[in-house]
Amino acid sequence: METRKIPGTDLNLSVIAFGSFASGNGWAPSERKSAIEAIRASYQLGVTTFDTAPIYGLGDTETILGEALSCFPRDKVQILTKFGLRWIYAKGKLFRTVVDWQGRNVDIYRYAGKESVIEECENSLRRLQTDYIDLYQLHWPDETTPFEETFEAVDRLVQQGKVRYVGVSNVSPEQMDQIRELFPFVSLQMPYNMIDRTIEKDVVDYCIDNKKAILAYRPLEAGLLSGKVHPDDVYPKNDMRNVNPHFTPENIKKTNVFLEELKPLASEKKVTLAQLALRWTADRPGITAILAGAQNSAQAIENAKAANIRLSKKDMDYMNSALLKLHL
């Protein structure tokens, strides 16, 4: 597995990292089993970087990741998690309301007060069955708490050895300027894929110029770039795809037309469309690792094998030319 180093650290991330986003909690036994198998299958194929967050599954996803990784040497994996989204306290700013596995509405708040950050870290360490976090990331900025207070707490965690390095997520270049005056963060996590290239406007250049790693999440745009999504697909009530503009019937049709153009290249490389999309993202300027999710071991294996694909300049030019025709 290809690895890439986060500048200024000794963290070498697998270029294909495991992203453990989950939209709800209350995993059924079969789902937990599949999730654990997916994580372990990823490791067996060289994936060493695993990204999660307390909000995924309302704590349950961290617990699953901790269980899955407990049988591997701790120094052979990088555990990445986040802080700053709370559902226990009604503090900060309301982020969104989700429906839990019992059908109850749960309000999620952006909140990164000092004591809250410290408490979140302790909870994550317990759920993940570890005594340190390799990369601890601010999940979303909290407008109600000064960055000074948030990163004072983070600094304490680093001094205590509970956190090795610190990253940020979903922040602007202006906010990164404010944060780096306070604390030497090393990475930024943002959505990035073939049909969501927003960060190319200013974020990519900022990170390259300031030697910050970029961890790309949603590299398959919630599965849309797999070629397996249809305009008449129906999703559960709480599924984020219901409010994702890329998932309107019209945009699904347009994306599928684009993916048809990639099929000859995928066939030539003997890979799937999803693998081709993952490798394209990994090969874009400034990208250190891509966070690919998997619900079962088959998907995990497919994702991990995308690291073995080699795309020439001619291949990339062909894909980019096809993208120019896509207007979403």
Residues catalogued as catalytic: 56
Distance CA 30, CA 41 (A): 16
Distance CA 305, CA 231 (A): 28
- Residue 264 backbone phi and psi in degrees, to 5: -60, -40
| Strand order across the beta sheet in which 105-110 lies | 85-86, 105-110, 93-99
Coil, strand or helix at 92 = coil
Question: Crossing angle, helix 147-159 and helix 114-128, to 10 degrees?
Answer: 40
E strand residue ranges, 170-324? 187-191, 213-217, 287-292
CB atoms under 10 Å from CB of 175, counted, come to 14
Distance CA 309, CA 302 (A): 11
- Residue 326 backbone phi and psi in degrees, to 5: -90, 115
- Residue 164 backbone phi and psi in degrees, to 5: -90, -50
* Residue 254 and residue 229 in contact, taking contact as beta carbons nearer than 8 Å: no
> What residue type is assigned to position 89 of the chain?
Y
* Residue 216 and residue 193 in contact, taking contact as beta carbons nearer than 8 Å: yes
